[in-house]
Amino acid sequence: MAIKTVLVWQWGKRGAGPRIAVDLANGLTALPDVSVRLCLSEDAEILHSHHAPQDALVFKTYRSAFGLLGRFLQAPLIISKLFLSMLQDKPDIAICAMPAPLDVLMAHALRRAGVKVVTIVHDARAHPGDGYPLQMFLQKALISQSSLLVTFSQHVATVLSGDTICRRKPVVSLSHPPFVGTEAPPPFSHGGKPRLLMFGRLLPYKGLDLLADALPQLEMRVDCRVIGKGPQSPELLQLSGMRDVIVENRWVPEDELSRLIAWADVLLLPYREASQSGVGAMAVAGGRYVVATNVGGLSEQFSGHAQAMLCEPDSMSIAIAIAQLLNAPPPIAPVPDSAKAWQALGQKILSAAD
């Protein structure tokens, strides 16, 4: 059988995007008769972490809004250089692991070179306060250059399928694999108070107000950490003033994520809306319990997970779900084989693209 060459690229600097690209590239590499090239931003945080890929191409992106504007002004030159590079070492298929501002330039060059482009679309609509300027405009431009769209929830796939630009493009919904390298001791093995964790972008749609109203309803003493980057808000001030609650408004470096998951017994996802949760995928990989609201793609992501409890997006339901889980935690399920899950995802994407 001929070797299939796959290019995986993601030009974000930090967060889930580069991590998804690395885990997907590693999963594809494990497949027989598949050769993988990985391309990341030269400023990607993961390149300097313990999850750093062994071999990756790097691309100069930008370091400021003015830098991004400058790169777009150079678009014809960048596309031409990428096009010539693709002709010299042409992949059979290219996968964009998560849309970023400059991806449309790569996709345009790939299509000119006759390479099939697959884009993993994480959000069909921008979440309030999240993303970057022109995010959806640039995503639609990327979609227009793509032959196949992959989502991590049927919720996102359904919304995308209703968009005019997607109606003639196949949209495949696949499960978000648990991230590799987040193994941890069993929950509650520390012997102290239950440890609750909410982390990620600290934005209103993440249900910070619901969490602030839910925690005082708990009769059991807990330690709760709310960690991530976001604008100061009344909800964060309310949370920071509560007993046994610590708010850390900061970016969480790549190498700290595993330790953070290992600290927690229960991950809290009290979201008001969601496409799916990369944080939740980390919790599953680490064998943590999860309390998530039944919104967007969270219901399908966690409905079959033995250590997850779904509830309605209101403070009373969240408090009840946390209390029920702490009082009678379900049996700990075997930790999934994350590497095999990414390998399976890679195989499904290649099969759908054929």
Share of the chain above pLDDT 90, in %: 51
User: By C-alpha distance, which of 48, 71, 135 is closest to 99?
Assistant: 135
* Section 152-167 average pLDDT: 86
- Domain residue ranges of the chain, discontinuous segments joined by +: 4-178+338-353, 195-327
Does residue 134 surpass a pLDDT of 70? Answer: yes
* Section 306-314 average pLDDT: 93
Does residue 1 surpass a pLDDT of 60? Answer: no
Indicate the range of 24-28, 120-124, 195-199 predicted with least confidence.
120-124
The pLDDT of residue 73 is 85
* Section 231-246 average pLDDT: 93
The pLDDT of residue 314 is 96
DSSP 8-state secondary structure symbol assigned to residue 196: E
324: confidence class by pLDDT, cuts 50, 70, 90:
very high
DSSP 8-state secondary structure symbol assigned to residue 160: H
The pLDDT of residue 75 is 82
Alpha carbons 142 and 117: distance in angstroms, whole number? 9
Looking at every residue in the chain, the average pLDDT score rounds to 89
Alpha carbons 228 and 148: distance in angstroms, whole number? 33
- The model's pLDDT over 200-226, given as tens digits with 9 standing for 90+, comes to 889 989 999 999 999 999 999 999 999
The pLDDT of residue 130 is 67
Does residue 122 surpass a pLDDT of 60? Answer: yes
Sign of the Cα pseudo-torsion (155, 158, 160, 166, in order): positive
Query: 4-178+338-353 has which fold?
Result: Rossmann fold (3.40.50)
Report the top-level CATH class of 195-327: alpha beta
Question: CA 3: distance to chain centroid?
Answer: 29
**352 φ/ψ angles, rounded to the nearest 5 degrees:** -70, -30
Indicate the range of 69-78, 122-131, 136-145, 243-252 predicted with least confidence.
122-131
Pairing of strands 223-228, 148-151: unpaired
Topology alike, domains 4-178+338-353 and 195-327: yes
The pLDDT of residue 279 is 87
Alpha carbons 343 and 245: distance in angstroms, whole number? 39
The pLDDT of residue 258 is 86
* Section 181-206 average pLDDT: 89
User: By C-alpha distance, which of 352, 344, 324 is closest to 157?
Assistant: 352
Does residue 166 surpass a pLDDT of 90? Answer: no
- The model's pLDDT over 106-121, given as tens digits with 9 standing for 90+, comes to 998 999 899 999 999 9
Indicate the range of 22-26, 154-158, 187-191, 236-240 predicted with least confidence.
154-158
**47 φ/ψ angles, rounded to the nearest 5 degrees:** -65, -20
Q: Which amino acid is at 344?
A: A
Question: CA 34: distance to chain centroid?
Answer: 24
CB neighbours of residue 331 within 10 Å: 6
Give Cβ neighbours of residue 114 (< 8 Å, ≥ 6 apart): 90
What is the tally of helices (H) and strands (E) in the chain? 13, 13
281: confidence class by pLDDT, cuts 50, 70, 90:
confident
CA distances from 144 to 119, 140, 354 (A): 10, 6, 19
